[in-house]
Amino acid sequence: MDSHELALSSEQLLALYRTMVLIRRTEEQLARAHQMGLVPGPCHTYVGEEAIAAGVCANLRQDDVVFSTHRGHGHALAKGVSAREVAAELLGKATGCSQGRGGSMHLFAPEVGLMGTSGIVGPSILQGAGAGYSFKLLGSDRVSVAFFGDGAVSNGAFHEGINLAAIWDLPVVFVCEDNMYATEVPFREATRNQNVAERVRVSYGMNAVCVDGNDVLAVHEAAKVAVTQARAGNGPSLIECKTYRLRPHAEGMRDGGYRTVDEVESWRKRDPIATFRSELLVNKQADEAAIDAVEEEVTIIVADAMDFGRSSPFPDPATAADFIFSAQD
């Protein structure tokens, strides 16, 4: 075990574990609800990638902001949106974090710095840079984080946003979650150079590192460096996280034809939660009882969240066109 991992207290380590388990258990229930027909729209899960949201967001303050993707439940939960509000939103309820206007791909909770998940690949990078511009202009030490996948890296928004953040030294952390597939198109077929961090360093002159995205402590350490740098006014950086999505692109979709069962199984053996649990036990940073207590607490939270979602009212149809403008016409 590297020395950096010892810098975290048992409480901090268990908090990281708790965030990952909260994301996993919530999404397992959402996937089940989707199968039962209770989620009226799409549901893209983050199962297998939890270490990234947990490791990054543990370094953020509530007034820091996150711009997320279509695979954003994990970012929302890690940033502090309650499981109740996430569950209710996916079930289409008025008590959801977007009051039933968004669903899985449009989760908004500005109160805790979640500035939106998105159904479009790329804008999170640009908007993340823009929040950085605001904070710099206002003389604030707040930090902006933009999450995106490998699917965004060949998009113009990536190149334009990274470049603007670099030339203007904006307080932004770009987090590339390379899960190897843009929907079902392999990253290796989308680019001649899959080394995102290297590309960003060489082409845009931005600090960038590549880490194992299934290693929560590696992500945490890289994010700590990046967030500290941004907060101190020393400009943006990028963290490339190599990871893998264990479920289909979206719930209910066929998962074959673009990846093999063997490949999925090989990554399942590297499940970030199981791996971290073993490490905590082997390194005696937490005992079984403490870990079990976290799991039990999360199980209760998630069960309550799903109950809350199911028992909440649907939005009033009369409000379908509310909030288009800042003041109603």
Partner 1 sequence: MREITYTEAAREALAEQMAIDPSIFVVGEGIGERGGNFNTTLGLYEKYGPMRLRDTPIVERGFVGMCTGAAMTGTRPVVDFMIVDFILDSIGELFNQISKIQYMSSGRIKMPLILRGCFGIGGAAATHHSGSYYPLFVHIPGFRVALPSTPYDAKGLMRTALTGDDPVLFLEHKLLLNKRGHVPEEAYSIPFGQAAVVRSGGDATVVALTVMLQKVLAISEELAREGAEIEVIDPRTVAPLDIDTILESVHKTGRLLIVDETFGPCGIGAEISALVMENGFDDLDAPIARLNGMHTPTPYSPTLEGVITPDHAAIAGAIRNLLAE
Contact positions vs partner 1 (CB under 8 A):
65, 67, 98-99, 101-102, 106, 108, 110-111, 115-116, 118, 120, 122-123, 125-138, 144, 156-157, 160-161, 163-164, 167-168, 321-327, 329
Nearer to partner 1, 55 or 122 (CB): 122
Nearer to partner 1, 6 or 167 (CB): 167
Contacts of 226 (CB under 8 A, 6+ apart): 173, 207, 237, 238, 239
Residue 266 Cβ vs partner 1, minimum distance, rounded to whole Å: 37
Nearer to partner 1 by Cβ, of 10 and 234: the residue is 234
Q: Smallest distance, Å, CB 214 to partner 1?
A: 29
Shortest distance, CB of residue 75 to partner 1, whole angstroms? 15
Q: Which of 145, 148, 157, 242 is CA-nearest to residue 198?
A: 242
Nearer to partner 1, 59 or 117 (CB): 117
Contact between 49 and 179 (Cβ < 8 Å): yes
What does the alpha-carbon distance between residue 143 and residue 136 come to, in Å, rounded to a whole number? 9
Exposure b/e, 164-182, CB count within 10 A at least 16 = b: bbbeeebbbbbbbbbbbbb
Report, in Å, the least distance between residue 60 CB and partner 1: 14
Cβ proximity to partner 1, 78 vs 109, nearer residue: 109
* Cα separations in angstroms, 302 against 32, 127, 138, 215, 322: 13, 31, 38, 24, 30
262 alpha-carbon distance from chain centroid: 26
Least separation in angstroms between residue 310's CB and partner 1 is 21
State in angstroms the smallest separation of the CB of 143 from partner 1: 11
What are residue 146's DSSP bridge partners? Answer: 67, 174
158 contacts 128 by C-beta, under 8 angstroms: no
Cβ nearer to partner 1, comparing 103 with 213: 103
